[in-house]
Structure 1
Amino acid sequence: MIGFNTCRRSLTALFLSICAAASFVAAAPSLAQHMGPDFGAKGDDSQGSIELVDPKTLRVCADPNNLPFSNDKGEGFENRIAEFLAKKLGKALAYSYYPGATGFVRNTLNAHLCDVILGMPQGNDLVQPTNPYYRTTHAIVTRAGTALDGVKALDDPRLKEKRYRIGLVANTPPGNVLAMNGLMASVKPYALMVDTRVESSSAAMIHDLEKGDIDIALLWGPIAGWYAKHSSEKLNVAPLPETPGARMAFRIGFGVRHSDQNFKRELNTLIAQNKADLERILLDYGVPLLDEQGHPITVAQ
């Protein structure tokens, strides 16, 4: 729910302080799950110094096959948010689709084919982020009606009483917590870097959970919530709590070119004025939302 030549595979943005840099490193794998494969080189977004490709059209940069975020059929929550923003702005809506692979930002936003990416983390310099419109986290997913009902954290004593099989996307933050609790021997790893056009580690993990091949799935929250809503089995989804040394939650905003200051301010105004509507869209897709104190948001505020 998560810059991107390894921030959709491992964030490469610079931070202004050591603290910020640490947060950035922690965010990378989470955002890799969010965005898909490597975004590619940063490129130069200052050329042309124009605000918008077409002032009468909201042009969105998106992955054509990366549910629950977006697809070319308009079925993702970022598609829904794009429709909402276009209506509020009084503009037509158009997309520039490009696989979440090497060169995404360079070949979409920075090539002036579109003007906004709808899921970007705070604190990276690959693009200019707006204020966040949601905060989400990694989640733990279990089958309902098992001995693991009620498990909400990876230090739950039940996980040490029996060797449960745990699905983990490689190099994502929950792995640090598993290591702290001596559970790495129970892990079944799934690839972080995949081509979303042809495969999905998240779909494979949920399928294994449904079949009983694993007992626990650890996924980026928006992915976990969406798959749980569409599963043939009843699945429990719980946000993973923050753990010292392993950040779980991240703020997500829109991303625009660094030169597009007016557009950024316009989007920030829309975020501030339409917080509840944006949250309703996210909650409808099962995105686990957190407030700034870490409490779950279950009704749009």
Structure 2
Amino acid sequence: MSRRLAFSLVAVASLLATAPAHSQSPGLVARPRGAADDARGSIELVDPKVLRVCADPSNLPFSDRAGDGFENRLAALLAKKLGKDLAYSYYPGATGFIRNTLNAHLCDVVMGMPQGDDLVQPTNPYYRTSYAAVYRAGSDLEGLTSLADPRLAEAKRIGLVANTPPGNLLARYGLLGAVKPYPLVVDTRVDAPGADMIRDLESGAIDVAILWGPIAGYHAKKSAGRLKLALLSGDKGARMSFRIAMGVRHSDQEWKRELNRLIAQNQNEIDRLLADFGVPMIDEADAPITPAPVTPAP
């Protein structure tokens, strides 16, 4: 997971949890609204003819310089609908990402931000998903939906990215001794903890991988049936699911409204794009969302 998204998810979970706050690494704290960082004021779009996007240059399945991530494909879709050219400013998804990109006016939108992160002004969400468990097909973990499942206590080796929300539930259920941790803070140009965890799962070094839903779904889909995915439900005040929106500057009100209109008008096409990458989508009742079929042109 990109550090930017992971940090945001933990911060949002910490703000919204009814249980004691999650343990936080540096930067994983509640942040004030970002108007102070947006010091250049309300100028809306620098170039109205170009959709300018800031993204991590090496963070599949979300984005990369080759344009192969689903956020790249989403940006291309929106640019086409808007009749704009598409341009990127790339920056590693670490602490300071928003300050050094969006709020520095190097771009006008960040494609994937959890709703509730005050560092940006979010649009309406364009999907909702959850953390997930990935396990080998044919294992005795079929039907797993909760980290409270007693099968996880039966000598299972659990892969987990450190300092992400599922760790709090694993601690409550006394399962931290079974955890093999993977680092959250990495240089995405050379390290990919999610991919490392999936390789360990396929080799048998771990029995289950706990990952953010889009990463879990992407690797499960690529496995050609070798791996299976189960979305995890929250428990005891721990939040597992999040709404994902686009992020714009707090000052850019009309731009936010334009993006909201675009999301509403193209939600079915957005759903199909996400499904192509294996992103597991859920509605507000946690029921799976299946994209609507394409209607043939008359």
Partner Cα separation in structure 1 for residue 231 and residue 23 of structure 2: 16
Q: Is the contact between residue 3 and residue 10 of structure 1 (CA under 8 Å) also seen in structure 2? A: no
* Matches for 1:1-301 after TM superposition, within 5 Å: 7-8=7-8, 11=11, 20=16, 44-160=37-153, 162-231=154-223, 234-300=226-292
Residue 46 of structure 1 deviates from its aligned partner by 3.9
Per-residue CA deviations over 1:234-286 (Å, capped at 9, x if unaligned) read: 10011001212210000010000111111000001111111111111111111
Whichever residue aligns with residue 98 of structure 1, its letter is: Y
Q: Is the contact between residue 167 and residue 190 of structure 1 (CA under 8 Å) also seen in structure 2? A: yes
Aligned residue for 2:228, secondary structure, equals strand
Q: Is the contact between residue 133 and residue 232 of structure 2 (CA under 8 Å) also seen in structure 1? A: yes
Q: Is the contact between residue 3 and residue 95 of structure 2 (CA under 8 Å) also seen in structure 1? A: no
Q: Which residue of 1 aligns with 2:296?
A: none
Q: 1:7 to 1:258 in 2, by over 3 A?
A: same
Q: Is the contact between residue 116 and residue 255 of structure 1 (CA under 8 Å) also seen in structure 2? A: yes
Aligned residue for 2:79, secondary structure, equals helix
Give me the identity figure in percent: 62
Aligned residue for 1:242, secondary structure, equals coil
When the two structures are superposed, what TM-score results if normalisation uses the length of structure 2? 0.87
Aligned residue for 2:7, secondary structure, equals coil
Residue 200 of structure 1 deviates from its aligned partner by 1.3
Per-residue CA deviations over 1:208-253 (Å, capped at 9, x if unaligned) read: 0010000000000001111112237710011001212210000010
Q: Which residue of 2 aligns with 1:37?
A: none
Partner Cα separation in structure 2 for residue 230 and residue 189 of structure 1: 23
Q: Which residue of 2 aligns with 1:36?
A: none
Residue 3 of structure 1 deviates from its aligned partner by 10
When the two structures are superposed, what TM-score results if normalisation uses the length of structure 1? 0.86
Query: After the TM superposition, which segments of 4 or more aligned residues of structure 1 sit over 6 Å from their partners?
Result: 25-29
Residue 299 of structure 1 deviates from its aligned partner by 2.9
Q: 1:20 to 1:248 in 2, by over 3 A?
A: closer
143-152 or 245-254, which moves further after superposition? 143-152
Aligned residue for 2:92, secondary structure, equals coil
Residue 158 of structure 1 deviates from its aligned partner by 2.2
Per-residue CA deviations over 1:151-183 (Å, capped at 9, x if unaligned) read: 2222223223x2011111112121222223222
Per-residue CA deviations over 1:40-90 (Å, capped at 9, x if unaligned) read: x96621414211121001011111101110000000000110011001111
Aligned residue for 1:131, secondary structure, equals coil
Give structure 1 stretches of 5+ with no counterpart.
33-40
Across the two proteins, how many residue pairs are aligned to each other? 286
Partner Cα separation in structure 1 for residue 2 and residue 253 of structure 2: 23
Partner Cα separation in structure 2 for residue 3 and residue 207 of structure 1: 20
Partner Cα separation in structure 2 for residue 298 and residue 156 of structure 1: 27
Q: Which residue of 2 aligns with 1:35?
A: none
Q: Which residue of 2 aligns with 1:38?
A: none
Q: 1:5 to 1:272 in 2, by over 3 A?
A: closer
Whichever residue aligns with residue 252 of structure 2, its letter is: D
